[in-house]
Amino acid sequence: MVIKDPYEKFAQVFDSFVPSELHREYYSFIIRILKKLKFKPRNILDLACGTGKLARFFLDAGYEVEGFDLSESMLTIARKKGLRVYQGNMINFELGKRYDLIICVFDSLNYILKQSDLQKCFNSVERHLNWNGLFIFDMNSDFKINEVLPTYKNDYHMVDDTELIWLNSHRRNTWVGELVLFQKTENGKYQRFYEKHVERAYKITAIEKLLKRSKFEILRTYSDFKFNEIKKDSKRWFFVCKKLGEAKP
Ligand SMILES: C[S@@+](CC[C@H](N)C(=O)[O-])C[C@H]1O[C@@H](n2cnc3c(N)ncnc32)[C@H](O)[C@@H]1O
């Protein structure tokens, strides 16, 4: 199946559009989780790494980290940051190696629209973890997708030489962000592009069930970048999971 990449053009303005403070917050939150668990990963895979904004923080701190993403356009930018990357679909991947820690942040897993595909993704992650390895990820909550995102108005931004218009629409458990980009060309005229982002909401009980089926133990759940438990109105869920077992080779 050919998948249309919703980041093909957006990739070029992603780093200017998304403030680096967000990824600094992800980085320090994950580091605090690792410290709490006294876990020192020897290598890390940033799944759905995008342009490598988060991975760059880990690289700068001396960690061995690699990235994986569907979007060749996002990866082109990640490579320029010195990140070693793999291109593929996280629903089912095989890199022939294992990691101590796999991270996946900024709603990336909400892009998986079928529960059976999310299960396959968790299975792939599990296969790529070392014994006792950790999987830390976040997701937009069902509350955010069903109650918060529908209040967002359509949005206009000027980023670098590109005009962005976000057209938001919603169905139950689904956010659709249609992005119209007008990009300035060399002759000063604007060229128009259209990309469509779709995120799905899952029930937290469904996520827990899938993780257990993929042989993960859920060590902790947090919400909204705080060490608080998940509540009904939490917007961003964080899961900290451990690969359950398997005999040491
Ligand atoms: C919101 S961006 C987040 C990127 C990055 N994690 C960050 O924090 O900046 C979502 C990313 O998920 C990637 N993605 C979506 N579906 C994917 C899939 N099936 N396999 C791999 N990557 C995927 C997109 O290409 C995009 O880079």
Ligand 1: lining residues by beta carbon, under 6 Å:
7, 48-50, 53-54, 69-71, 74, 89-91, 105-108, 111
Confidence band (pLDDT; 50, 70, 90) for 3? low
**Closest ligand 1 atom number to CA of residue 26:** 8
The span from the CA of 77 to the CA of 13, in Å, is: 10
Is residue 82 located within the same domain as residue 17?
yes
Alpha carbon of 6 to ligand 1 centroid (Å): 10
The reported pTM is: 0.96
CB within 8 Å of 121: residues ≥ 6 apart:
90, 91, 92, 109, 112
Residue 2 pLDDT: 53
Residue 1 lies in a domain: no
Write the pLDDT tens digit of every residue in 75-116: 999 999 999 999 999 999 999 999 999 999 999 999 999 999
Q: What is the mean pLDDT of residues 132-158?
A: 96
Q: What is the mean pLDDT of residues 34-60?
A: 98
- CATH number for position 181: 2.20.25.110
Alpha carbon of 109 to ligand 1 centroid (Å): 8
Write the pLDDT tens digit of every residue in 193-213: 999 999 999 999 999 999 999
Where are the extended beta strands (E) located within the chain? Answer: 44-47, 65-69, 84-87, 99-104, 129-140, 155-159, 162-171, 174-184, 190-200, 216-223, 236-243
Is residue 73 located within the same domain as residue 17?
yes
Q: Which percentage of the chain shows pLDDT scores above 70? A: 97
- CATH number for position 25: 3.40.50.150
Residue 208 lies in a domain: yes
Q: What is the mean pLDDT of residues 5-31?
A: 96
Atom 27, ligand 1: which residue's CA is nearest?
Answer: 50
Is residue 185 located within the same domain as residue 211?
no
Is residue 44 located within the same domain as residue 153?
no
Do residues 189 and 210 lie in contact, with contact meaning Cβ atoms separated by under 8 Å?
A: no
**Closest ligand 1 atom number to CA of residue 104:** 6
Is residue 137 located within the same domain as residue 164?
no
Q: What is the mean pLDDT of residues 174-202?
A: 95
Residue 188 lies in a domain: yes
Is residue 127 located within the same domain as residue 23?
yes
Residue 32 lies in a domain: yes
Confidence band (pLDDT; 50, 70, 90) for 4? confident
Q: Which percentage of the chain shows pLDDT scores above 90? A: 93
User: What is the span of the domain harbouring residue 196?
Assistant: 145-200
Count of the separate structural domains present in the chain? 2
Cα-based torsion angle of the residue sequence 42, 46, 51, 52 in order, rounded to the nearest 10 degrees: -20
Residue 246 pLDDT: 61
Residue located via tokens 């029930």:
203
The pLDDT mean for the chain works out to: 95
- Residue 249 pLDDT > 70: no
Is residue 131 located within the same domain as residue 21?
yes
Residue 95 lies in a domain: yes
**Closest ligand 1 atom number to CA of residue 50:** 27
